[in-house]
Amino acid sequence: MPAKFPPRLHVLFARDTPHAVILRRGPSKTTCSIGWDRRSDTFTTGQWLRGRIYERRSDISPDGRHLIYFAMNGRWTSETKGSWTAVSKAPYLKAITLLGKGDCWHGGGLFLNNRIYWLNDGYGHKPLRVSSFITRDMSWQPPVNYGGECLHVYYNRLQRDGWTHRPDSTSDSGAPDVFEKSVGSGWLLLKYCYADLDHPEGKGVYYDRHALVRTGSAEILNKPD
């Protein structure tokens, strides 16, 4: 029998409120969005999607009220042509802005504030539904270019949210990118970001590991066990 693995969880934290959205993937072609009130530690089921949400191309608004995400269900003859970027009311997936894509190049985006977002447009989207409340900034671009796919959105999101990228962490072929964030009292939280087709069983091409180390530790670039 094939091995069974627990669902993968990716959490989008609102920057100005104690709200978050959890994107639960599992089985691999099924995704659920879940609202998390971190003040009361309560959860609200948003919606299930028979398809894939690219969590590393997704974001939550600073106030936690809206979600931008890139999704694919492979229905290439549908209105969205099988993939789309959407803005919704968190934690739900129903689009108030719907942008058909038709492929899996680029897609998704970042919130610049509560009502304005940047679209990872690349080869183009087709507007199918557009909100007058949440609007797109047509000129802003992320500070660092990491290509057009998941890492371009994800790494810029991390740095916006207070993580520092250690460029020396990518000096070895196949090594993870390392981000660090101070958590106070002389401690650093390290995030090891892997992007590898030769990934361990039960993990995707993209996955993260974490380690807690003392500031100035000589082991800061070592991979966690």
Report the predicted TM-score, pTM, of the whole model to 2 decimal places. 0.90
pLDDT of amino acid 110: 98
86-101 tens-digit pLDDT: 999 999 999 999 999 9
- Predicted confidence (pLDDT) at residue 221 exceeds the cutoff of 60: no
What is the strand order of the sheet 19-25 is part of?
A: 8-13, 19-25, 31-37, 42-49
124-151 tens-digit pLDDT: 999 999 999 999 999 999 999 999 899 9
CB burial readout 185-212, b (16+ within 10 A) else e: eeebebbbbbbeeeeeeeebebbbeebe
pLDDT of amino acid 66: 98
pLDDT of amino acid 173: 57
Let me know: does 60 contact 21? Beta carbons within 8 Å: yes
